[in-house]
Amino acid sequence: MSEIVCKCGVLIMKSYGNGKTKIRSKILVFDDSLNKSFAVCRSCGEEHEVPVKIGPQPIARSISHFIFDKK
């Protein structure tokens, strides 16, 4: 998954191939019941599934990290 574009034309996520990925959204939503995460479009508010998870163990006290699933 290298790019996610909303149906309204707004770029949500883009991988640049050099280890960098940018997500442009209003907010990220993590749904533990579905084990999925979603980026909300800045323009129309539609949710798009993104390959981001909250790490199972914190890096430091009470600070979690994000993990990109390479799908």
| Tens place of pLDDT per residue across the chain (71 aa) | 589 999 999 999 998 878 888 999 999 999 988 989 999 999 999 999 998 887 665 555 555 566 666 55
Beta bridge partners of 32: none
Domain boundaries, position 12: 3-68
Half-sphere exposure (Cβ direction) of 7: Cα atoms closer than 13 Å? 5
* Total of domains in the chain: 1
CA distances from 49 to 8, 58, 59, 61 (A): 16, 23, 25, 28
pTM for this prediction: 0.72
